[in-house]
């Protein structure tokens, strides 16, 4: 049976760890871990390993004016299908429009894992906690993330938004119906890519977010 002195030391360590967690929670960005309503999983499709936490990271970078806009090529994604100015027959699209692109950021699993340093307060709590602690409700992403927006869809008052870790974005269901309905207008597609390390953009010059200076325009007839 542990002595009273041992119990006092253990309680002191646990109290210190709890204080560190509280401090860490108070020093984060505004809003803390609160979800972004724009990332609501009931309205935003997530493909590959994309998550709402990764969505929040990308949108926060966009809100802060951190998107780097430049010529297509390199880390800036390049559309491969449809091509700019291409006209697609609505009947040929079928049940899904597969928007594809290329980027040196690659697709999920094609770039070496770069582990993020674990904060000291988290190490302390991990060491003293009798059970494992869940730091997020979904596994953090280490790899590329792409944010795809489609504009000018008939009947929509806002652009269609999708997040994926793959080198393609599938537009299906009711969203595809809007694409097929744009037979008298053009569809504009915007793409933004970034490399995340456990849901964080560590080094913007190499990790982004990157966006080409020209969006893809295609037509449906």
Can you tell me the distance from the alpha carbon of 106 to that of 110, in angstroms, rounded to the nearest whole number?
6
With vertex at residue 133, the alpha carbon angle to CA 111 and CA 20, rounded to the nearest 5 degrees, is 100
Phi first, then psi, for residue 150 (nearest 5°) are: -115, 125
CB contact at 8 A, 156 and 180: no
* Averaged pLDDT, 190-211: 93
Q: pTM score > 0.95 for this model?
A: no
Highest mean pLDDT among 5-9, 83-87, 106-110: 83-87
Over residues 133-167, the pLDDT tens digits come to 333 357 888 999 999 998 876 666 678 899 999 99
């Amino acid at each position: 049976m542990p002595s009273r002195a041992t119990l006092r030391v253990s309680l002191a360590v646990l109290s210190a760890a709890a204080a560190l967690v509280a401090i860490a929670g108070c020093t984060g960005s505004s809003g803390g871990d609160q979800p972004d309503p724009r990332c609501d999983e009931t309205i935003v499709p997530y493909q590959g390993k994309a998550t709402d936490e990764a969505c929040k990271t990308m949108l926060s970078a966009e809100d802060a004016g951190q998107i780097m806009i430049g010529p297509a090529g390199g880390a800036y994604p390049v559309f491969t299908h449809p091509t700019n100015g291409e006209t697609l027959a609505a009947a040929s699209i079928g049940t899904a429009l597969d928007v594809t692109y290329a980027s040196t950021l690659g697709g999920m699993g094609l770039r070496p894992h770069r582990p993020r340093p674990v904060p000291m307060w988290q190490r302390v709590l991990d060491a003293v906690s009798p059970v494992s602690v869940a730091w997020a409700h979904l596994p953090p992403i280490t790899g590329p993330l792409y944010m795809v927006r489609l504009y000018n869809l008939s009947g929509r008052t806002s652009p269609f938004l999708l997040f994926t870790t793959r080198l393609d974005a599938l537009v299906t269901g009711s969203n595809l119906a809007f694409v097929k309905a744009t037979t008298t207008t053009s569809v504009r597609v915007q793409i933004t890519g970034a490399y995340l390390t456990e849901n964080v953009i560590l080094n913007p010059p190499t990790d982004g977010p990157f966006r080409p200076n020209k969006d893809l325009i295609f037509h449906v007839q």
